[in-house]
Amino acid sequence: MWRSALLLVFLLLTSFCCGVCFECPEICRCSQKSITCNSATGSQKSLSRLVLNYISVKTISSRSFDGLKGVRRIEIAQSSSVETIESEAFNNLPNVSEISIQNTRNLVHIQQRAFNQLPKLRYLSISNTGISVFPDLTSIFSLEAHFILDICDNLNLRSVPSNAFTGMTSEYATMNLFNNGFQEIESHAFNGTKIDKLVLKNSRDLRVVHEDAFKGALGPTVLDVSSTALETLPSHGLESVLMLTARSAFALKKLPPLKSLKSLREAQLTFPSHCCALINWDNSRDGSVNSALRNRSSYCGDNSSPADLSAISSDDSLESDVIGSSSVEDTFGSIDFHYPDLDLCQQRQALQCSPEADAFNPCEDIAGFSFLRVAIWFINILAIAGNLVVLLVLFTSRCKLTVPRFLMCHLAFADLCIGIYLLMIATVDLRTRGHYSHHAIEWQTGAGCDIAGFLSVFGGELSIYTLSTITVERWHTITHALRLERRLGLSQASLIMTIGWLLCLAMALLPLIGVSSYSKVSMCLPMDIETPLSQAYVILLLLFNVGAFLVICGCYVCIYSAVRNPEFPGRAADAKIAKRMAVLIFTDFLCMAPISFFAISAAFKVPLITVTNSKILLVLFYPINSCANPFLYAIFTRAFRKDACILLSSMGCCQSKANLYRMKTYCSENINRSKSSSGSNANSKGPRAVMWMSSFPQLTPRPHIQRV
Ligand SMILES: *[C@@H]1O[C@H](CO)[C@@H](O)[C@H](O)[C@H]1NC(C)=O
Ligand SMILES: *[C@@H]1O[C@H](CO)[C@@H](O)[C@H](O)[C@H]1NC(C)=O
Ligand SMILES: *[C@@H]1O[C@H](CO)[C@@H](O)[C@H](O)[C@H]1NC(C)=O
C-alpha cells in the first residue's frame, strides 16, 4: 500500500519534472553556467529544430550558437533564469530561418549584434521578456522575402529608436510590435526598411509616433494602431497605406490630412465621423478622376506618356482635394504616374470604412441646413442682446430690489446662458462648415462641447424653473393681494432660487460625470440614452420641463379665474389679461411642446424624427423662450421702460421723459400715476389686475403697501 503510494508520487514528480526540467539537446554541450551548440558539438548529428525550454543558465554567451549547419529553428522559452544574451550569441547560422525567444521574464539585456549574420532568417520573435532597450536587429542581414518580426508583450520596452530596423532585411517585412510598453516611436525609426504590415496595436501607452518616423522607409501598406493612446498619426509616410485599422483608439480624435492617406482603400476606425470625412473625400476625388476619364477616354488603352498624365493630374488636382491646399506632387505622387491604368482607366474600388455614420452622427455640418445657419446667428444675437439689456438695466436701476425684479435677473441670466450656448454652436459651425466630420470628434469630445452642453442644460432648466417661480409668485400675489404677511418675501425668493440653482447645476453636471453625455451629438445636448441610468436622466429632465409647463399653465388658469371673479377688483379688463396670458403660455408651449414630444419619444427609444430634422426644432423652437422672455417679461413692461429711461438719461439721452418719471416719484409702485403720465392706456382708473399684468415687475396690488 505504502509502496504503491510512493511509486505514484515518484511517477508524478518525474512526469512533472520532464515537463519542466531542462534536457540538454544532443548537439549541445551543457553545464551549470553555459550552454554551447556550435559546429564543433553538433558536427556528428543533425537536428533541424533546437528547443531549449526551461534552461537554467543566466547568460547565453557569445558564440553559443555559432555556425550550426543543419539547424533551421532555435527556440528558447519558459526560462526564468536567462538574463543576458551576449553579443554574437546567434552568429553566422547559414540555415537558421526561425529564432524565437519567449516567456523569459528575467531576460533584460540583449547586447549589440546578438543576432549576427543570419541570411536565411525569416522569423524572429522576442516576446514576453523583460528587456527595456530595443534589441539590436541591425546586423541580421536577412535575404529572405517576407521577413516576419514579432516583438510582443515586452512591457518594459519604452520606445522604438531611430534606425531600429536598418539592416534587418533587404526585403519587405511584416512587423508585429504589439502589446509592448511603447510610449514613443522615434524619428526615422523605420529608416531604410520596406514595411509590408506594421501592427502597433495594444501598446496602450503609445502616445507619439514621430512625424518623421516613416522617413526613409517604404510602406507600410497595412497599419494597425488599435487600442493605443495615439493622438495623431504622422502627416507624411502613410502615402502607401492601403488598410488602416484604428479600433478603440479613442485618443485619435483627428485624422492626419487626408491627402496623406491617398492610397487608402479600407479603414476600420473608432469614430463614425472619421469615416464620413474619408468617404466624402474619396467620393469627391473619385468624381474628378472619373470625369477626367470620361473626357479623355483616348488615354485608356494606348500608352500615354507621363507628361500627358501629369497634365491631367495638374488639371484635376485643383478639385481633387477637399481639405487643405495641395501641390501636384502631393496629390499625385510619383508612384501613380507609373501606373496610369490603375489610376485613370480602371474604376477605382470605393473606399470601405467602418463604423458607418449612425443616427446620432449623420454626415453633415452642425447646422444641417443652410437656413439654420442664418437662423442660429439671428436667434443667438437676439437672445444675448435682449438678456444683456435686461440685466444691465436691472443692475443699474437704483430702485429697491423687489421679488419680481430679483426673479427677472435670474431669468435673464438663464436665458443669456442659452444665448451663449447658441453662439458657441454657431461659431463652431461657421468654422467647420463644409468639413465638420473632420473636426467632429475633436469638438464633441472636447471641453468646448461640455461647456456648451452645460450652458444649454443649465440655462434651459434654470429658465424654466424661474418662469415657474415667477408665475407661482404672480398667482400667490394675486390670491393674497391684500394680505401683506402672506406675500413672498425676498429671503424666501432667495431660498427658492438657491434650490433652483442647485437643482439645475446638478442636472447640468450629471452628463459631465458619466450619466448620459454631451458628446453624443454635434449640438452638445444630452442625447445619450445607452444605459438605463442615462435614459432615466433624460426622461427626468423632460418630465421636469413638462411638469414646469403644467405648473405655469395651472397658475395662469388660477390667475384668470381669480381675476374673473366678480369680487376681484377690476374685472373689466378680462380680455386684455386673457390675451397677455395667451401670449405667455403660447410662447412657452411653442418652445416646449415639439421638443418634448419628440424628445420623450426618443428617450423611450422610438425616435420619430431624425437628428438632422431635430436640429430644426432645436435651433428654431428651443431658444424661443430665451429670445421672447426679455421682451415679454421685461422690455415690454412699463416699469422696465422707466428704468431704461432713467439709465439712458444718465448717459444723456431721453432727458425729458426721465425727468417726467423722476417727478412722478421714481420707483413708485403707484401705477395709476405712471400710467396717466404715459397716457397710453385708456383705463386710467386702472383695474389693478391690468396694471399688474402690464407693468410687471411692479405689481399693482402693492400701492397700499409700498407707496413711497
Ligand atoms: C546548410 O547550408 C549549407 C550551405 O551554407 C548547405 O550546404 C547545407 O546543405 C545546408 N543544410 C541544410 C540541412 O539545409
Ligand atoms: C537613414 O538611413 C541611411 C542609411 O540607410 C543613413 O545614411 C541615414 O543617416 C539615416 N538617417 C537618419 C536620420 O538616421
Ligand atoms: C469634361 O468635359 C466637359 C464638357 O465636355 C467639361 O464641362 C468638363 O469641365 C470636363 N471635365 C474635366 C475634368 O475636364
Assess if residue 605 is contained within a domain: yes
Average pLDDT score over residue span 645-662? 70
Are 271 and 125 contained in the same domain? no
Separation of alpha carbons 351 and 278, rounded Å? 8
What does the pLDDT average to over 506-519? 89
Mean pLDDT of all residues in the chain? Answer: 77
- On the question of pLDDT at 673 being above 90, the answer is no
Average pLDDT over residues 223-235: 89
- What is the distance in A from the centroid of ligand 1 to the CA of 72? 10
The closest residue, in CA terms, to atom 12 on ligand 1 is: 70
The domain total for the chain is 4
What are phi and psi for residue 110, nearest 5 degrees? -120, 110
Average pLDDT over residues 349-370: 80
User: For position 49, which CATH number holds?
Assistant: 3.80.10.10
Q: What is the mean pLDDT of residues 126-139?
A: 89
Whole-number pLDDT of residue 420: 94
Percent of the chain that is helix, strand, coil (3-state, to 5):
45, 10, 40
Map grid coordinates 515586452 to a residue.
154
Domain, as residue range, for 669: 637-675
Is the pLDDT reported for residue 307 higher than 60? no
In angstroms, what CA-CA distances link 463 with 416, 457, 500, 545? 9, 10, 10, 10
Residue 502 confidence class, pLDDT cut points 50, 70, 90: very high
For residue 60, is pLDDT > 50? yes
The Cα–Cα gap between 122 and 79 comes to: 24
Using CA positions, which residue lies closest to atom 1 of ligand 3?
295
Tens of pLDDT along 49-59? 888 888 888 88
User: Is the Cβ atom of 191 under 6 angstroms away from ligand 2?
Assistant: yes
Q: What is the mean pLDDT of residues 538-562?
A: 86
Average pLDDT over residues 619-629: 84
CB of 216 within 6 A of ligand 2: the answer is yes
Query: 244-254 b/e with 16+ CB inside 10 Å = b?
Result: bbbeebeebbb
Residue 676's pLDDT is 38
Ligand 3 geometric centre to CA of 291 (Å): 7
Looking at the CA of residue 162, tell me the nearest atom of ligand 2.
14
Which has more confidence, 685 or 423? 423
Name which residue sits closest to atom 7 of ligand 3, judged by CA.
295
pLDDT above 60 (res 505): yes
Confidence class of residue 417 from pLDDT cuts 50, 70 and 90? very high
pLDDT at 498: 94
- Partners of 209 in the β-ladder: 185
* Ligand 3 centroid distance, CA of 306 (Å): 21
On the question of pLDDT at 504 being above 90, the answer is yes
Between strands 35-38 and 29-30, the pairing is antiparallel
Bridge pairing between strands 35-38 and 65-66:
parallel
Tell me if residue 581 falls in helix, strand or coil.
helix
Residue 518 · residue 449 · CB < 8 Å: yes
The answer to whether residues 159 and 73 belong to one domain is no
- Among the candidates 632, 658, 689, a domain finishes at 632
70 lines ligand 1 (CB under 6 A): yes
Check if 166 has its Cβ closer than 6 Å to any atom of ligand 2: yes
> Is 175 in the same domain as 110?
no
Q: Tell me the pLDDT tens digit for each residue of 444-495.
A: 888 999 999 999 999 989 998 998 998 888 888 877 766 666 777 888 899 9
What's the pLDDT score for residue 312?
A: 40
pLDDT value at position 343? 47
C-alpha R_g of the chain? 39
Question: Do both 119 and 171 map to the same domain?
Answer: no
The per-residue pLDDT for 484 is 65
- Site of grid cell 479623355: 296
Residue 607 near ligand 1, beta carbon < 6 Å? no
User: Is 139 part of any domain?
Assistant: yes
The CA 216 to ligand 2 mean position distance, Å, reads 7
What is the number of the ligand closest to the CA of 94?
1
- In this predicted structure, what is the pLDDT of residue 419? 93
**The predicted structure's pLDDT at residue 662:** 61
188 lines ligand 2 (CB under 6 A): yes
Domain containing residue 425: CATH number: 1.20.1070.10
The alpha carbon of 687 and the centre of ligand 2 are apart by a number of angstroms equal to 93
More confident position, 685 or 549: 549
Residue 325 lies in a domain: no
The atom of ligand 2 lying closest to the CA of 192 is: 5
What is the per-residue pLDDT for 690?
Answer: 39
Query: Which carries the bigger pLDDT value, residue 608 or residue 428?
Result: 428
Distance CA 372, CA 205 (A): 42
Q: Is residue 307 part of a domain?
A: no
Is 310 a residue whose pLDDT tops 50?
no
Position 684 confidence tier, pLDDT thresholds 50, 70, 90 = very low
Measured in Å, residue 296 CA sits from the centre of ligand 3 at 9
Residue 94: its pLDDT value, please?
A: 82
* Distance (Å, whole) CA 161 – CA 467: 64
pLDDT score for 667? 52
List, for residues 374-394, the tens digit of each pLDDT value.
888 999 999 999 999 889 888
Q: Which atom of ligand 1 is nearest to the CA of 94?
A: 5
Task: Look up residue 313 and give its three cell numbers.
Answer: 493630374
pLDDT class of 341 with cuts at 50, 70, 90: very low
pLDDT at 126 over 80: yes
Centre of ligand 2 from the C-alpha of residue 185, in Å: 16
Residue 186 has pLDDT above 50, yes or no: yes
Same domain, 627 and 646: no
Domain contains 209: yes
What distance, in Å, lies between the first and last C-alpha atoms of the chain? 114
For residue 288, is it left (φ>0), alpha (ψ between -120 and 50) or beta?
alpha
Q: Is residue 626 scored above 60 in pLDDT?
A: yes
pLDDT of 337 higher than 70: no
b/e 120-131 (16+ beta carbons within 10 angstroms → b): ebbbbbbbbbbb
Nearest to 621 by CA among 265, 367, 335, 375: 375
Helix (H, G, I), strand (E, B) or coil at 385: helix
193: CA distance to ligand 1 center in Å?
A: 28
What letter does residue 489 receive in the DSSP assignment?
Answer: P
Strand positions, DSSP E, 113-180: 115-116, 123-129, 147-152, 159-160, 172-176
Q: Is 69 in the pocket of ligand 1 (CB under 6 A)?
A: yes
102/213 same-domain check: no
- With residue 59 as reference, give the H or E element that holds it: strand 59-60
Which segment, 91-100, 410-419, 625-634, is predicted with the most confidence on average?
Answer: 410-419
Nearest residue CA, atom 12 of ligand 3? 292
Mean pLDDT calculated for residue range 484-510: 88
182 and 231 co-located in one domain: yes
* 500 has a pLDDT exceeding 90: yes
More confident residue, 667 or 453: 453
Residue 15 pLDDT exceeds 80 = no
Our answer on whether the CB atom of 95 is closer than 6 Å to any ligand 1 atom is yes
| Better-scored residue on pLDDT, 228 or 368 | 228
How far, in Å, from the CA of 316 to the mean position of ligand 3? 11
For the cut 80, the answer to whether the pLDDT of residue 291 exceeds it is no
Identify the pLDDT of residue 573: 54
pLDDT confidence of residue 608 = 74
Q: Which ligand 1 atom minimizes the distance to the CA of 48?
A: 13
Q: How far apart are CA 144 and CA 141, in angstroms?
A: 9
Q: Looking at the structure, do residues 486 and 616 belong to the same domain, yes or no?
A: yes
pLDDT band for position 599 (cuts 50, 70, 90):
confident
Q: Which of 28-37, 71-80, 88-97, 478-487 bottoms out in mean pLDDT, i.e. has the lowest?
A: 478-487
607, 632, 657 - which closes a domain: 632
Residue closest by Cα to atom 1 of ligand 2? 191
In a domain, 669, yes or no: yes
Q: Which of 600, 632, 664 is the last residue of a domain?
A: 632
From 138, 163, 165, 168, the mutation candidate for ligand 2 (largest count of ligand atoms within 8 A of CB) is 163
Does 209 share its domain with 112?
no
CA of 303 to the centre of ligand 3 (A): 22
Q: Whose CA is nearest to atom 5 of ligand 2?
A: 192
Asked if residue 331 belongs to a domain, the reply is: no
Predicted confidence band of residue 146 (pLDDT cuts 50, 70, 90): confident
Q: Is the CB of 94 under 6 A from ligand 1?
A: yes
Binding site membership of 163 for ligand 2 (Cβ less than 6 Å): yes
Ligand located closest to 297 CA: 3
Nine-digit cell string for 552: 405655469
d(C-alpha 241, C-alpha 637), whole Å: 67
Q: What is the pLDDT of residues 565-580, one digit of tens each?
A: 766 655 555 566 667 7
| Nearest atom (ligand 1) to Cα of 46 | 13
Residue % of the chain over a pLDDT of 90:
11
Instruction: Note whether residue 188 is domain-resident.
Output: yes
Indicate whether residue 119 lines ligand 1 (CB < 6 A): no
The letter for the amino acid at 246 is A
Residues 649, 628 within the same domain: no
* 628 and 644 belong to one structural domain: no
Maximum average pLDDT range among 351-355, 509-513, 658-662: 509-513
Whether 525 and 662 map to the same domain: the answer is: no
pLDDT at 413: 93
State percent of the chain over pLDDT 70: 76
- More confident call, 610 vs 140: 140
Ligand 3 binding pocket (C-beta < 6 A) is 291-292, 295
